[in-house]
Amino acid sequence: DAGVTQSPTHLIKTRGQQVTLRCSPKSGHDTVSWYQQALGQGPQFIFQYYEEEERQRGNFPDRFSGHQFPNYSSELNVNALLLGDSALYLCASSFQRVLGNTEAFFGQGTRLTVV
């Protein structure tokens, strides 16, 4: 049983470009949350997708957008990249949103470097 898989593992982009990151949740999970982890910091919540809709959003600008597909996989899109967007982007999957009742499993992340 595959866990949470993210692609690509590493990515280098130029300032101003756009990027799309992908996540496949753990089998049986229907909720995907995205986090940004800057170097030396804890992960920061970006948003959460459930039933193909954005359900919760953290304090991130509209340049960050996402999508969830019928098979529960998800994409994170970032437009007009800034140097400060360089980070590890983590995807977490869970079942039916409520993390207090279920465990969230994290992928290994996508390391994005903006130059």
Partner 1 sequence: GESVGLHLPTLSVQEGDNSIINCAYSNSASDYFIWYKQESGKGPQFIIDIRSNMDKRQGQRVTVLLNKTVKHLSLQIAATQPGDSAVYFCAETGDKIIFGKGTRLHILP
Span 68-87, contacts to partner 1 by CB under 8 A: none
The one segment of 13-21, 40-48, 60-68, 77-85 that binds partner 1 by CB under 8 A:
40-48
Of the pair 6, 19, the CB lying nearest partner 1 is at 6
Among 18, 55, 82, 115, binds partner 1 (CB under 8 A): 55
Q: Does 28 engage in binding with partner 1 (CB under 8 A)?
A: no
What phi, psi does 85 have (nearest 5°)? -80, -5
What are the Cα distances from residue 6, in Å, to 23, 32, 61, 101, 102?
A: 4, 12, 22, 24, 21
Cα–Cα distance, 4 to 105 (Å, whole number) = 7
Q: Is 56 in the site for partner 1 (CB under 8 A)?
A: yes
109 binds partner 1 (CB under 8 A): yes
Partners of residue 64 on adjacent β-strands: 78
Residue 18: closest CA among 73, 65, 54, 88: 65
Q: Residue written as tokens 């799309």?
A: 20
Give me the residues that bind partner 1 (CB under 8 A), please.
4, 33, 35, 40-45, 48, 55-56, 58, 90, 92, 97-100, 103-109
